[in-house]
């Protein structure tokens, strides 16, 4: 049955928009009229219109969010929808009817449209995994493969619950890190803005009194005047140089050599390097455990995990481990040889392989590292705040000192 995106007016004159399936636009008008909605516009919700694929003629539109990598669907939205679908299927409702109910429950517009198209594909005979695979910006490879495993094993509701738990846990960890770093980031932005105003507007007016003094100024004052003059007279060079530098850096990071160098530098960074490694290991263990518990084959799971690990060095280790597993070796041995994974990880994986409890051990590894990440982020935030305050205070003190010193030492200045 076709799915339509529609807009209309209620009896009170309020504009409404939504998505609904109907045999035709005429049937849609009749259904909406029964609900007290007068149809003003309707169009078929095609997959291309949702997924940002190319359109032709008057239907061609530019998906600005897709161009910049924003899908409009948050991890929390996806987790809620996944849990609702798990509840519906667990209650014995057929998949198509469950998707129909889910489309009506979801509030997020983009996700609502996509689920409408997915329901239409499933109704036409496609599997749920294949229908979701057509929207890779929303449903990751991990998500699709877990759904496929759930359909194959007949435990789709259980897999959906695991997916919802996994998505929520990853979103919560990300939100905790972002929330902890938000205050220091705001302080940096405000500090840069204040210093920029001082150098461009305030300092030139204050230091103007020194121009006619014909005396040797302290070196701190000369530096201050030079920086202020450059910021005032050549500000446009910074406006051009900074975006150009960011663009060049981004292009370099897209090259294999640049990405590898950057990832190696990240892992070697003091303080932050260990935190980045912990985050990657936590994601590796959590994802692999979730995939294995959902019935995904080990080699397929390792391939998926390799693709979602952001660091190329760790991804190469996982790829070598996958090749070693194919040749009959254990998971722990190649991880140990790499030197990139801490002893706790490969020892617990080795124990899990021997005891047949690999999923449980991976979950324990993930929980351990998630808690360590939270502790370190909290400690780092507590340390950053006073350091940033001292740094900002030191910068302001340098400016004040550089301005006051010539004024206080007018009697001791030596004429040039």
List pLDDT tens digits, range 150-181.
887 777 888 888 888 888 887 877 787 787 77
pLDDT, residue 47, reads 44
Q: Looking at residue 372, what is its pLDDT? A: 86
CATH number of 75-168: 1.20.81.30
- Beta strands at 3-10 and 15-21: parallel, antiparallel or unpaired: antiparallel
Question: What integer pLDDT is reported at residue 212 of this predicted model?
Answer: 63
The arithmetic mean of pLDDT across residues 314-333, rounded, is 86
| CA 34 – CA 11 distance, rounded (Å) | 11
* pLDDT for the residue numbered 53: 38
Per-chain mean pLDDT for the chain = 78
Ramachandran sector of residue 161 (left: φ over 0; alpha: ψ -120 to 50; beta: rest): alpha
Q: Please report, for residues 112, 130, 134, 366, the alpha-carbon distance to residue 141 in angstroms, rounded to integers and kept in the order given.
A: 20, 11, 11, 20
Q: Do domains 75-168 and 170-416 have the same CATH topology?
A: yes
Confirm if 114 and 47 have CB atoms less than 8 A apart: no
* 265-322 per-position pLDDT tens digit: 888 888 788 888 888 888 888 888 888 887 888 888 888 888 777 788 888 888 888 8
Segments making up each domain of the chain, as ranges: 3-67, 75-168, 170-416
% pLDDT > 90, the chain: 1
Tell me the CATH number of domain 170-416, given options 3.30.70.870, 3.40.50.300, 3.40.50.1370, 1.20.81.30: 1.20.81.30
- Sign of CA pseudo-dihedral 70, 76, 80, 86: positive
Q: Report the range of poorest mean pLDDT among 27-36, 241-250, 260-269.
A: 27-36
CB 277 within 8 A of CB 267: yes
Q: Name which residue leads in pLDDT, 238 or 323.
A: 323
Residue 234 CB coordination number (10 Å): 11
Task: Name the pTM for this structure.
Answer: 0.63
Which residues is 16 bridged to in the sheet?
A: 8
Which carries the bigger pLDDT value, residue 259 or residue 65?
Answer: 259
Q: Note the pLDDT tens digit of each residue in 93-146.
A: 888 888 888 888 888 888 888 888 888 888 888 888 888 888 888 888 878 888
What pLDDT does residue 20 have? 67
């Amino acid at each position: 049955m076709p799915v339509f995106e529609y807009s209309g007016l209620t009896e009170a004159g309020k504009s409404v928009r939504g998505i609904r399936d109907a045999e035709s636009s005429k049937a849609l008008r009749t259904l909406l009229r029964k609900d007290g909605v007068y149809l003003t516009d309707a169009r078929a919700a095609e997959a291309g219109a949702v997924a940002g694929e190319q359109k032709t003629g008057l239907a061609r539109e530019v998906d600005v969010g897709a161009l910049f990598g924003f899908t409009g669907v948050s991890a929390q939205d996806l987790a809620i929808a996944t849990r609702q679908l798990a509840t519906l299927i667990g209650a014995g409702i057929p998949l198509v009817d469950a998707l129909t109910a889910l489309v009506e429950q979801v509030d997020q517009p983009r996700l609502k449209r996509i689920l409408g198209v997915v329901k239409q594909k499933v109704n036409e005979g496609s599997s749920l995994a294949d229908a979701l695979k057509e929207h890779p910006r929303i449903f990751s490879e991990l998500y699709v493969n877990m759904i496929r495993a759930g359909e194959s094993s007949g435990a789709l509701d259980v897999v959906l619950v695991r997916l919802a738990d996994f998505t929520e846990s990853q979103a919560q960890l990300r939100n905790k890190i972002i929330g902890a770093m938000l205050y220091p980031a705001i302080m940096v932005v405000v500090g840069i803005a204040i210093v920029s105003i001082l150098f461009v507007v305030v300092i030139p007016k204050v230091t103007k009194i020194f121009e006619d003094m014909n005396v040797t100024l302290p070196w701190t004052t000369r530096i201050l005047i030079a920086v202020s003059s450059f910021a005032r007279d050549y500000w446009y060079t910074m406006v051009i140089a900074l975006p150009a530098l960011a663009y060049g850096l981004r292009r370099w990071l897209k090259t294999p050599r640049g990405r590898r160098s950057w990832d190696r530098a990240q892992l070697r960074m003091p303080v932050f390097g260990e935190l980045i490694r912990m985050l990657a290991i936590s994601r590796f263990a959590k994802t692999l455990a979730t995939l294995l518990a959902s019935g995904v084959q080990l080699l397929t799971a390792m391939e998926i995990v390799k693709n979602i690990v952001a660091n190329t060095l760790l991804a190469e280790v996982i790829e070598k481990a996958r090749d070693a597993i194919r040749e009959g070796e254990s998971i722990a041995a190649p991880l140990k040889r790499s030197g990139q994974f801490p002893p706790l990880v490969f020892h617990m994986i080795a124990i899990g392989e021997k005891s047949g409890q690999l999923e449980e051990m991976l979950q324990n590894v993930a929980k351990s590292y998630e808690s360590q990440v939270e502790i370190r982020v909290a400690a780092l935030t507590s340390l950053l705040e006073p350091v940033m305050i001292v740094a900002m205070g030191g910068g302001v003190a340098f400016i004040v000192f550089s301005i006051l010193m010539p004024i206080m030492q007018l009697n001791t200045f030596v004429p040039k």
